[in-house]
Each structure stands twice: as structure tokens, then as C-alpha cells.
Amino acid sequence: MSLSLEGAGLVHPNGHRALHRVSLALARGERAAVIGPSGAGKTTLIRILGTALRPTGGGVSVLGADPWQLAAGELRRLRSRIGVVHQSPPIPPRLRVVTAVLAGRLGSWPTWKALASLLLPSDAAGAREALARLDLGDRVFDRCDRLSGGQLQRVGIARVLYQRPDLVLADEPVSALDPTLADEAVGALVAASEANGATLVASLHAVDLALKWFPRLIGMKAGEVVFDRPTAAVTTAMLHELYATEGRALPIQGVETAASDRPANVLVLRRPGCQ
């Protein structure tokens, strides 16, 4: 099993309960999208799976290990096998794009190689290849402070593509992208996970992206899992109930989804005014 949570919960020091008794398991190579309204606990779940947060209750296993039972060196090695795509990538603005992408493998490189790569990129061709999959191949030597927010999001995705981790966690990875680029970026993550046999878990605001690219949907609300089903078993009524607190319209990106790519019991989702 690649990931498992057993009754995992998280209560912040101020008493706010962000996650309540969440249990789920994902096999190696499985893909799942986590969906739900704002404040549902999606980011908290991703951060626990990525070992950035320690649950205050329950158990967690990541890539066959309990992160919080490992020695410091073992925990670093575990984290080097996890690729995380952030909504706002933590990339220093003066860093060159090539260095930001190559940082994906710093955890698996010896110290001398990691330090040398900061001065002279050791694999510019590999960084360019990852960037080209996201239409950024011509920006490889630019400084990151010259990129837009959407371009920075794609650099963060390219870093994970270059890393080739065993586990990919994406937290709203395409929130700053237009529908076409968002669709291409999620497709690149899916293709990379399939090619490498990696497990992929992504929290997505756009329901249509989740329906198109992920065979399993995990619906969350108020820190709890309200459904965990194959995509084909998730109905329009279930989606509307999940997002009932955000009004009648489901949040969508506006991607084109072929009839063969969506469950028969889920209606075509379009933005208002789209033809």
C-alpha cells in the first residue's frame, strides 16, 4: 500500500478541528482527486500525506513507513521520494528557472552535487525537457521573478516532473491557469505518474478536471470524507450536495470533456455563458 490513514485527525492549537477521523488507502500507482468546498480540509489532508503536518490523532503510513517513527535521516530520505506541487510554489524570486526545476532532485543528490548545481546547472537539458511539457521550454534560464503566477505554478509542476518521485501530491496545482493550460498541466502530471508508476493525489477546485483525469474521487466537507468512490459511481446529485454551501453552480475550469471520458450519470459541466 502506498498511502493509508486510519482515523487520522488534526486539531490546531486554537481548538479548530481541521480533520476528523479520516480513513483511506491508496495502492501504488493509484490516482485520486480530492474535491470539496473551501475549508473542507483538502489542504490539511495533502500536508499530512506529505509529512508536512503531524496528525493529532490516528495513524498514517506513507510509502510503507510511519513518518513520525523515523529517525531524522530516514525522514529526509522518505521526503525525497515525495513530490509536492503547491498552489503558490515556494520558489525564491531571484532563482533561475533551471535551478528551481533541478531542485526537484536535491534530496536524492549527494551534497557536493546539490551545491555545485546551484552555481552551474548539472542537467539543463533535463530541466528544459520538463519545462517544454508545460510550454515553458524557452524560459529555462529566466529569473523566476520575471514569470507570472501561472508560469510559476507550471515551474512547480515541472520540478515534480523532473524529480520523478514515488508519490505526487498536488494542492490546487492549476488555480492560476486558464482552462487549456490547466488541462494540459494536469494531463502532464497524470502521464508522468503513469510512466513512473507513481501514486498521484491532487486536491482540485475544478470538478470537471477531477472527472476527466482521475478514476477515483474523494469528496470532503468540514474536515470529513463524505464519499470515496470510483468516478463512475459519483452522481451529479452527490456533487451538488457536496457543494451545497457554495450555491447551486458547481466549480469548474471549463475544460472540454469527451462523453467517453465522463461517467454516464454525470451531466456535462459548463461555465455560465459557455457554448
Domain edges within the chain: 1-81+165-177+189-268, 87-164
Q: Which residues contact 149 (CB under 8 A, 6 or more apart)?
A: 88, 176
Judge contact between 84 and 157, C-beta under 8 A.
Answer: no
Q: Which residues contact 216 (CB under 8 A, 6 or more apart)?
A: 30, 31, 32, 33, 228, 229, 230, 231
Question: Three cell numbers at 274?
Answer: 459557455
What are 91-131's pLDDT values in tens digits? 989 999 999 999 888 766 566 565 566 666 778 999 999 99
Pick from 179, 117, 120, 186: nearest CA to 157: 186
Mean pLDDT taken over the chain: 89
Q: Which residues pair with 62 in a beta bridge?
A: 3, 65
User: Which helix (H) or strand (E) is 47 found in, with range?
Assistant: helix 42-49
Taking residues 54-60, report their average pLDDT: 96
Q: Mean pLDDT lowest for which of 72-76, 143-147, 166-170, 253-257?
A: 253-257
Domain 1-81+165-177+189-268 -> CATH class: alpha beta
| pLDDT at position 275 | 28
User: Which helix (H) or strand (E) is 191 found in, with range?
Assistant: helix 179-196
Taking residues 180-203, report their average pLDDT: 96
Question: Three cell numbers at 221?
Answer: 466537507
| pLDDT at position 249 | 79
What are 194-251's pLDDT values in tens digits? 999 999 999 999 999 999 999 999 999 999 999 999 999 999 999 999 999 877 678 8
| pLDDT at position 269 | 47
Largest CA distance in the chain: 56
